[in-house]
Amino acid sequence: MKYLSLLIFCFVFISCTTEIELLVPETPSGIVNNVPLVYEEKLDIAYGKSLAQTYDLYLPNTRNERNPVIILLHPGAWRIGDKMFVSSIVKSLMNKRVNCAIVNMNYRLTSTTGITYIQQLEDINNLLLKIKGESKTLKISTNFFVVGLSAGGHLAMLYANSPIGNKLAKGVAGIVPPINLTSKTLREGNIGTDITKLIGKTYTESPSEYIKASPIFQYNLASPPTIVFFGGKDETVPVEQANLCKQVLLSSRAKSEFNFYAEQPHEWNNWDEPIDKIIKFAEKYL
């Protein structure tokens, strides 16, 4: 009986620690299991009444109901931008033959009256709830890995740690994300006016709201696995943001990975290495 219990424990332990494989290997003939790897594209699907509430969905025919779903959030200082801004990331993921669904979403922007980060988080949540409800039909998992760039990175990290998120995000990646909106340096920099629009109030009027909207202050032991990327020559998101993020991530027990590129500006053009790291991170922790 003792040996049986040990065998059961070992089986459960191994099962819980087995890493997934997200990349479909490419054979000389370009096929796997005699089936060519093809991505079905569903474009401009509505998830709300606003014209801004649309998304694109990419479904590999080799997908399964275990691998995560990658959710992409575009940059644009919260007030401009479109999912097309990260189409290069979608293309890179497909070129790498990633075997999971990809969702590239639009969200309502602060250039529209009444839209703040609250509505933007609600957009992410509503879309994930929609996809969750359709997961059986689509033959995909509900294991959502939210990946955002710049303002999208901020929203991804905030959503993953916000009660609004219903804990739907099982992993998160932030690429050059502004994480501390209370920072005077950040608020007096390139996106200071955009931050005020995002919050809907000035810092003087409501410093507590700026804390609430800062992902780094919401980070805790229950946070999902988090991987971040920062640049040393970023003139939009100062290095102080990277330093604070590194300090918090390293001092916590949560699963995380910090990446810093000393020569990298805010405009990220070379996606090869970051995407490789994001895929490996997802394979390890999701």
What pLDDT digit, counting tens, does each position of 227-285 carry?
999 999 999 999 999 999 999 998 887 899 999 999 999 998 888 999 999 999 999 99
C-alpha closest to that of 248 among 278, 205, 218: 218
pLDDT at 152: 98
Spatial CB neighbours of 258, under 8 Å, sequence gap ≥ 6: 227, 228, 230, 245, 246, 249, 250
Position 249, amino acid: L
pLDDT at 257: 97
Task: Count the Cβ atoms, other than its own, within 10 Å of residue 54.
Answer: 19
| Confidence category of residue 17, pLDDT binned at 50, 70, 90 | very low
Q: Mean per-residue pLDDT for 46-73?
A: 96
C-alpha closest to that of 241 among 256, 224, 254, 228: 228
Domain chopping of the chain, boundaries: 2-285
Provide the mean pLDDT of the chain: 91
pTM: 0.91
What is the distance between the terminal CA atoms of the chain, rounded to a whole angstrom?
33
CATH architecture of 2-285: 3-Layer(aba) Sandwich (3.40)
Structure tokens at 60: 């590999």
- Farthest-apart Cα atoms in the chain, separation: 67
Of 31 and 239, which is predicted with more confidence? 239
Percent of the chain with pLDDT over 70: 90
